[in-house]
Amino acid sequence: MDAENWQVMEEIEPPGVVWAAVSLGEELRLTIGEGANDDRFVYRYTPQAGFEKMFACPEFTGSYLSFDGEHLYLSQWYKQRILKLDPAGKILGQIKVGAEVCGHVFVRGSLYVLRGVEKPEEAWRIASVDLRPEAPVVTDLATVPFASRSLAFDGENFWSNHRAANETMVFALPR
């Protein structure tokens, strides 16, 4: 993708179902589901080497990814947690968010997470996570009034997907 002009430069077939991607500068990390059981793996993608399988997600489950500048974080939706991983996929820490996770992103050193419940009526909130205490503290900041999936930040605003409407939404947090 040519980021300046929003033009597709090349389309590449992934080795499975892509559930999430996060930039690590010159490369991407992706959560990809494979096979009949949709087993989840973390892949690296670079334009030079293409897709490279790095490791299996813990218990073959995981979806959304974020990166704090040093470590990769993987959420497990129904386990209501985000895992801090080393480059080989070893779990270094766990953040219990107290609800299903449908996206997360680091913004200026702080972690933000979309959390809530999918069923029966898609009730989601955006929360900040204070990672300084031994047991991270999750604080709801606002209700997200749509069936949200994924979370990104462009330096000024948050972005998410409104799945039911097939739209991408941009929003700022209330001050």
Q: State pLDDT tens for residues 130-161.
A: 998 888 999 999 999 889 999 999 889 999 99
Domain that holds residue 66: 17-171
What pLDDT shows up at residue 11?
86
Q: Is residue 29 part of a domain?
A: yes
Band of the pLDDT at 169, cuts 50, 70, 90?
very high
Note whether residue 120 is domain-resident.
yes
Residue 8, domain member (yes or no): no
pLDDT at 1 over 90: no
> How would residue 116 be classed by pLDDT, with cut points 50, 70 and 90?
very high
Give the pLDDT score at 28.
95
Summarised one tens digit per residue, pLDDT across range 50-95 is 999 999 999 999 999 999 999 999 999 999 999 999 999 999 999 9
**Whole-model pTM?**
0.92
**4, part of any domain:** no
Beta carbons within 10 angstroms of residue 28's beta carbon = 17
**CB within 8 Å of 68: residues ≥ 6 apart:** 106, 109, 111
CA distances from 74 to 49, 166, 175 (A): 23, 24, 28
Nearest residue to 82 via CA among 52, 60, 125, 112: 112
Please give the residue that has the higher pLDDT: either 122 or 66: 66
User: In the structure encoding, which two tokens stand for residue 74, read together?
Assistant: 């993987």
DSSP string computed for 79-100: TTEEEEE-TT--EEEEEE-SSE
Report CA Rg, the chain: 16
7 part of a folded domain: no
Does the pLDDT value for residue 48 go beyond 80?
A: yes
Which tens digits make up the pLDDT trace of 3-40? 788 788 888 899 999 999 999 988 999 999 999 999 99
Q: How many domains does one find in the chain?
A: 1
Residue at token pair 């790095």: 54
Q: 156 in a domain, yes or no?
A: yes
- pLDDT in the model for residue 2: 77
Alpha helices, H only, the chain:
none
The 3-state DSSP class for residue 57 equals: coil
The token duo for 18 is 């892509």
What per-residue confidence (pLDDT) applies to 164?
Answer: 84
Domain membership of residue 12 (yes or no) is no
Residue 122 belongs to domain with CATH number: 2.120.10.30
Task: Give dist(CA 133, CA 104) in Å, integer.
Answer: 19
Task: Give the model's pLDDT for residue 7.
Answer: 87
